[in-house]
Amino acid sequence: MTMKDNAELSLYNKVRKAVHEQWDPIGVADYVDEMGEYDEYIPYLCKLLEKHPSRDEIFECLWKIETESIGMSGDRKPTEEFAGWLYNLVN
């Protein structure tokens, strides 16, 4: 495994854990210790984060996942806060 592969895996694992524990727009973390509910979105998020996007770009991605893909009505404040956390992770 190359350093790039290790870095990508590390980012993936950090994002996966944070999505489940910090963002969790469905609210499953309170009921399920096992992560996996959001796994289909993690690769897309990681590809975006590797490009060092702005906070707004990250927010728009999260908002689209939350409101369109998942179908929730959206909770803007926690999603903005999580976008800031992801921004700080890669910048």
Q: Is the pTM of this model over 0.85?
A: yes
Residues 67-88 have pLDDT tens digits of 999 999 999 999 999 999 999 9
Look at residue 16 in the predicted model and tell me its pLDDT.
94
**How far does Cα 24 stand from its chain's mean position?**
9
- Helix (H) / strand (E) containing 56: helix 55-64
Q: What are all long-range contacts of 38-45, with beta carbons under 8 Å and residues at least 24 apart?
A: 41/65, 41/69, 42/12, 42/15, 42/16, 43/12, 45/15, 45/19, 45/86
Distance (Å, whole) CA 64 – CA 45:
11
Is residue 16 a contact partner of residue 46, using CB atoms and an 8 Å limit? no
pLDDT tens column, 6-60: 566 799 999 999 999 999 999 888 886 667 889 999 999 999 999 999 999 999 9
